[in-house]
Amino acid sequence: MYDKLTQSHMPSDTRQNNGVDQSQNGIDVGSRRAFLGLGSAAALGSLAGCLGDDDNGNGNGNGNGGATDDSGAGDDEPEKPDQITVRAWGGVWEGSLEESIAEPFTEETGIDVQFDNTDRTVMQGDIRTAIQQDREPPVNVMWTVEPAAHEEYRMDLAEPLDESIVTNIDEMFNHAIPDVDDSIPYLTLYSYTYALSYNEDALEDITGSSEPPESWNDIKSDEFENAFGQYDNAYGFWPVFSELSDTPLDSDDLSAVYDEIEEFEPTIGHIGDDTSLTEQIREGEIACAPLIMNNLLDAYEDGEPVGWTLPEEGATLRGDSMYTPQNQSESELYWSQVFINFAAAAEHQSEWTESLGLPMTNSNTEPMDYMIDDPSYPTDEEDFETLLTVDLDVYAEESPEWFEEFNIIMGA
């Protein structure tokens, strides 16, 4: 029987922080496994009126903003605040953003960028409370995972992005832009896949071969008992369950999806976060897991017997997004959207992809050599088409039920 853990609707932060876990580590399961899971239109009008547009109503295309100077703002932009605050993960995440995006932004605008490392699920609640109480939000830019950004859009927390400020929207891959009807509430700035990540030595001990499974179905065999890992709540694996069961996740009857979980259950020896899953794979405690692929990059480059691949069914595609919460002053809102435009500019994304080790979503960004021809790193529209996704409205509405069922099956 698994130890019971309280898990939220949307799993909390699971990012590595230079080797320091920012959330819970996995824990042993029984004796054999580990287990852990306000006036928008008016504001847009006032922002648009502050821009120095060309004859077409667009900026001059300098790559950093929709306007006439290096900061990406026009002659009539609002007064600059002394600083803006960005919600961020710590460690390499904050460090890469600071080096590649925040420092150039400060250099060009004179606006300091502060970082707030509050857990993203806690920050979601803080933003929501501030807006409900008609107060300014605790941060000017919310940097969070894509499903949470969509959930917060549905909560009406996000001020729509003004396309005359965030001009780099025009250069983004389709995946970067949310599929909503009447606005662009957030922008996804880079992507990642939950690739099948593995330890070659552990695989050889189990199967007699260091080659990874060609199909996710291969892992359901008896030889993989306790050798497979999962994120909390199977976060990042639901599109795979759907693909394997041939059952869309918006179906009225998900029994076939839950049957897939039942089939995988004997193989799952650890359920945790990025830090614990990475550690378990590197140490050979588990043979493989669906893991965000950049977690093993350093170990792979150091010659450790680890790697990643896309099974024949594909793998889940996700990304991280930024948005500007409502209830900000005109000045802070404007310059916070300029900051997002900096983060979306190909010039800055080409530096960010190197320091973060993830493929960016501006189509003009130059990917790292190791990303090219590796389908785990989508770098063109065709790559995105081969990966698995879930409708984010369906995810927001239905995932609590999926998570509950997963935890019941796993004995949580």
| In-domain check, residue 382 | no
**Would you say residue 8 has pLDDT above 70?**
no
**Would you say residue 185 has pLDDT above 90?**
yes
**Would you say residue 362 has pLDDT above 60?**
yes
**Would you say residue 17 has pLDDT above 50?**
no
Closest to 267 measured CA to CA, from 287, 281, 284, 283: 287
Residues 109 and 22 both lie in one domain: no
**Would you say residue 59 has pLDDT above 60?**
no
Residue 349, amino acid: Q
Give the pLDDT of residue 128: 98
| pLDDT tens by residue, 82-131 | 999 999 999 989 999 999 999 999 999 999 999 999 999 999 999 999 99
**Would you say residue 259 has pLDDT above 90?**
yes
Return the residue matching tokens 């109503």: 57
DSSP state string for 239-263: HHHHHHHT--TT-S--HHHHHHHHH
- Domain limits at 349? 40-189+321-369
Give the pLDDT of residue 33: 29
Closest to 340 measured CA to CA, from 349, 353, 327, 330: 349
Give the pLDDT of residue 21: 35
Phi and psi based region of residue 328 (left: phi greater than 0; alpha: psi -120 to 50; beta: remaining) = beta
Residues 172 and 258 both lie in one domain: no
Considering only residues 75 and 304, tell me which one the structure prediction assigns the higher pLDDT: 304
Backbone angles phi, psi at 400, to 5 degrees: -55, -40
Report residue 73's pLDDT band, with 50, 70 and 90 as the boundaries.
low
Report residue 310's pLDDT band, with 50, 70 and 90 as the boundaries.
very high
DSSP state string for 79-114: PPPSEEEEE--SHHHHHHHIIIIIHHHHHHH--EEE
Could you give the CA distance from residue 196 to residue 261 in angstroms, rounded to a whole number? Answer: 17
Give the pLDDT of residue 293: 86
Give the pLDDT of residue 15: 63
**Would you say residue 40 has pLDDT above 50?**
no
| In-domain check, residue 9 | no
| pLDDT tens by residue, 330-342 | 999 999 999 999 9
Closest to 66 measured CA to CA, from 175, 209, 168, 193: 168
Residues 136 and 157 both lie in one domain: yes
Considering only residues 307 and 9, tell me which one the structure prediction assigns the higher pLDDT: 307
Residues with Cβ within 8 Å of residue 118, at least 6 apart in sequence: 87, 126, 138
Residues 47 and 183 both lie in one domain: yes
Number of structural domains, the chain?
2
Give the pLDDT of residue 335: 98
Task: Report which DSSP code applies to 289.
Answer: E
Residues 185 and 200 both lie in one domain: no
Considering only residues 250 and 65, tell me which one the structure prediction assigns the higher pLDDT: 250
Closest to 186 measured CA to CA, from 155, 121, 142: 142
Please state the length of the chain: 412
Percent of the chain with pLDDT over 70: 82
| In-domain check, residue 171 | yes
Could you give the CA distance from residue 31 to residue 19 in angstroms, rounded to a whole number? Answer: 26
